[in-house]
Structure 1
Amino acid sequence: MKEKYDLVKLSDICEIKSGGTPSRNEKDNYDGSIPWAKISDIEASNGTLFTTEETITEKGLKAIRNRIFDEGTLLFAMYGSVGKMAFTEVKVSTNQAILGINIKDQSKLYDRYLYYWLLGKKNEFLYLANGVTQKNLSATFLRNVKIPLPSIELQRRIAEILDKADEIVRKRKGSIDLTEQLQKSIFLDMFGDPVTNSKGWEIKKLGDVGILERGKSKHRPRNDPSLLGGEYPLIQTGDVANSKGLIKSYTQTYSEKGLAQSKLWKSGTLCITIAANIADTGILLFDACFPDSIVGFSPSTEVTTEYIQGWFDFFQPILEANAPQSAQKNINLNILKNLNVMIAPIKQQVHYSQVINSLRKHLEKYEKHLQESENLFNALLQRAFKGEL
């Protein structure tokens, strides 16, 4: 049976203030002892903020009218990543994109209940947020939002149930993170550091151990509707960057006309991004087309696809850091062809490929379990504030 809760304006039970940004033109505003949080700090915090990328001085704090938040404050992102949150474990100042929320009376509102209620409203907030280049909410908007307010005992019970469900999700994510890190560790153990070639393997050019070919999209404009909507998968740089190594899905397709001005690459091709996202890789699990911002690699008998992909995992940060930039970062086909690759014995490479493919099967199971856990958590989150728990 559903319970009905009183609705209370958030500003009636919480103090809500924004931070500020000291002038960047005055260098003595920064590099002090006072933590100064940006939205990127909240994103990296996993829900609890212990440290910040930047700090400000006492002078910088005065420049933003001493806007500082005590330990335990709930930080809420208003711009860009609307609704991202973290409890701060240190006294912290923030920029103006972040609100600090402090409960006025702890006997009436439990902080974890408030956190989960705001989390449950995130999609609604994103829908209501203004902005073309980036979404944003105002402090006034949040102050006027009404929160259901059951007894403090029931708030604690709701938060406890959601904490347990959230902990399951976090453990699932932790298993996935460890498995992904293990892939790099296996490469290092079997072949040594590819950056320094610590095991002294033979060196060859990447272009000499496989075929590298840019994707094709000859027609202009590229988004001509007549090119799209058919049966041929079309992969973009974002699909590769978000693939976690294996390209299993796609969001766009080419028509027959689209295919005629492109090319269909075979399943198993290693896709390498060369614009915007630099040297991200993904192995196609189906035949697909892709534009010239992606290069396809097909290995010779000297290397395996998984080995070259593992090698790229170590060189991607180096290639991205050194990529020339005009409107966006990019590298060309010649740069890829002339990269020096250490060539370990093919038997070891084949064994590595078998181990990685086995590991990826485990990873697929972990991801399925994570999806189930997230679905359970989201269902509980919605039920909690409808009086159904």
Structure 2
Amino acid sequence: MSDLKSFEIPLPPLTEQKRIANILDKADAIRHKRQQAIQLADEFLRAVFLDMFGDPVTNPKGWEVETLSSLVVGKLQNGAYFPKEKYSSKGVEMVHMADAFYDVVPRGQLKRVNASAKEIEKYGLGVEDIMISRRSLNYEGAAKPTLIPESSEPLIFESSMIRLTPNPELINKRYLFQYLSDPSVKDHHVRKYVTGATIKGISQKNLEKVEVLVPPLDMQRKFEESATSIERFVAKHSFNKSMGEDLFLSISQNFLC
């Protein structure tokens, strides 16, 4: 306690303290507005989805139902394991479990590993793929889908993730992503395949069994157009979630460090 009492705290003039507090308040307000904009866009997008396709649980419009395994190109693929000594700042970016919290993989912010050409070919990711998280501490995180952005640089994924490639002749990638992200779908079509006590997870075999409603492709593509329009609007008028957090942290550290 005596050490704590003797700890010196830099104390700028009161006017400077007020100026710093005002800047931090504004930065925090910006962060919250960005988060609210993204949340509203997500809610609106789900409303569009339900209006076009109906309740994915009761299927009132009578769409065909297929298992996920019948709607993908090839087989689902589990990711790679790399020991610590393989990690390098100059290696290939790799998607980890923590990166699945974003709807789109945040390129440029990922850990890197030294991977061979053969490993990059086997575990490579492209814009046509969807990543599915295999494990999580809660049900919400297990089987969460994540999209892959366009990039000229290679990208691979680690063992806590599963890669699936939607067959574009059968299912639209953006529609499938929204379907698998829907809370009702997760509760009624996915959760029954999630196992585990402390760590919740879904196996590749169980993921293949998930039932998917398959409306006509032209309707799926129309939904993709709506989703793209909404996302472009948000991108134009708001930062993404990670940028809002980074802005606040950067400003805070600048004044408090």
Q: 2 CA distance for matches of 1:338 and 1:380? A: 47
Alpha carbons of structure 1 residues 178 and 149: separation in structure 2 relative to 1, 3 Å: same
Alignment correspondent of 1:316: 186
| Cα offset, 1:266, TM superposition | 2.9
Residues 230 and 256 of structure 1 are in contact (CA less than 8 Å); yes or no, is this contact kept in structure 2? no
- The equivalences for 1:341-352 within 5 A come to 341-352=212-223
| Cα offset, 1:230, TM superposition | 5.9
Segments of structure 2 that go 5 or more residues without pairing to the other structure are none
- The range that moved more, 176-185 or 332-341, is 176-185
Larger relative strand fraction: 1
Partner of 1:362, secondary structure, is: helix
Alpha carbons of structure 1 residues 230 and 215: separation in structure 2 relative to 1, 3 Å: farther
Q: 2 CA distance for matches of 1:177 and 1:213? A: 30
Q: 1 CA distance for matches of 2:234 and 2:119? A: 33
Q: Does 1:175 align with 2:71?
A: no
Alignment correspondent of 2:66: 204
Residues 169 and 374 of structure 1 are in contact (CA less than 8 Å); yes or no, is this contact kept in structure 2? no
| Cα offset, 1:327, TM superposition | 6.1
Alignment correspondent of 1:214: 77
TM-score normalised by length of structure 2: 0.75
- Could you tell me which amino acid in structure 2 is paired with residue 199 of structure 1? K
| Cα offset, 1:183, TM superposition | 2.2
Residues 165 and 373 of structure 1 are in contact (CA less than 8 Å); yes or no, is this contact kept in structure 2? no
- The equivalences for 1:20-39 within 5 A come to none
Alignment correspondent of 1:244: 103
Partner of 2:200, secondary structure, is: coil
Partner of 2:230, secondary structure, is: helix
Q: 2 CA distance for matches of 1:375 and 1:299? A: 35
Partner of 1:307, secondary structure, is: helix
- Could you tell me which amino acid in structure 2 is paired with residue 279 of structure 1? A
Alpha carbons of structure 1 residues 169 and 227: separation in structure 2 relative to 1, 3 Å: closer
Q: 2 CA distance for matches of 1:352 and 1:140? A: 64
- Could you tell me which amino acid in structure 2 is paired with residue 313 of structure 1? S
| Cα offset, 1:146, TM superposition | 4.6
TM-score normalised by length of structure 1: 0.52
* Deviations 1:216-268, CA, capped at 9 Å, x for gaps: 43x7xx315247666533222222x2322355343223322772794323332
Alignment correspondent of 1:305: 173
Residues 232 and 259 of structure 1 are in contact (CA less than 8 Å); yes or no, is this contact kept in structure 2? no
Alpha carbons of structure 1 residues 226 and 322: separation in structure 2 relative to 1, 3 Å: closer
- The equivalences for 1:1-389 within 5 A come to 146-147=8-9, 148=11, 150-151=13-14, 159-160=21-22, 162-211=24-73, 212-217=75-80, 222-223=82-83, 225-226=85-86, 231-239=91-99, 241-249=100-108, 250-256=110-116, 259=119, 262-276=122-136, 277-285=141-149, 286=151, 287-300=154-167, 301-314=169-182, 315-317=185-187, 319-320=190-191, 323-325=194-196, 328-365=199-236, 366-367=238-239, 371=243, 375=247, 378-379=250-251, 382-383=254-255
Q: 2 CA distance for matches of 1:210 and 1:370? A: 30
Residues 104 and 148 of structure 2 are in contact (CA less than 8 Å); yes or no, is this contact kept in structure 1? no
Q: 2 CA distance for matches of 1:189 and 1:353? A: 14
Larger relative helix fraction: 2
* Deviations 1:281-315, CA, capped at 9 Å, x for gaps: 11222442223432222122121111111011123
Residues 262 and 290 of structure 1 are in contact (CA less than 8 Å); yes or no, is this contact kept in structure 2? no
Partner of 1:352, secondary structure, is: helix
* Deviations 1:111-152, CA, capped at 9 Å, x for gaps: xxxxxxxxxxxxxxxxxxxxxxxxxxxx9887665552745x
Count matched residues.
Answer: 242
Q: 2 CA distance for matches of 1:336 and 1:344? A: 20
* Deviations 1:85-105, CA, capped at 9 Å, x for gaps: xxxxxxxxxxxxxxxxxxxxx
Residues 172 and 370 of structure 1 are in contact (CA less than 8 Å); yes or no, is this contact kept in structure 2? no
* Deviations 1:21-44, CA, capped at 9 Å, x for gaps: xxxxxxxxxxxxxxxxxxxxxxxx
Alpha carbons of structure 1 residues 166 and 330: separation in structure 2 relative to 1, 3 Å: closer
Q: 1 CA distance for matches of 2:69 and 2:242? A: 39
- Could you tell me which amino acid in structure 2 is paired with residue 243 of structure 1? Y
Alpha carbons of structure 1 residues 337 and 368: separation in structure 2 relative to 1, 3 Å: closer
Q: Which has the larger radius of gyration?
A: 1
Identity %: 21
Q: 1 CA distance for matches of 2:4 and 2:104? A: 40
Q: 1 CA distance for matches of 2:40 and 2:206? A: 32
Alignment correspondent of 1:117: none
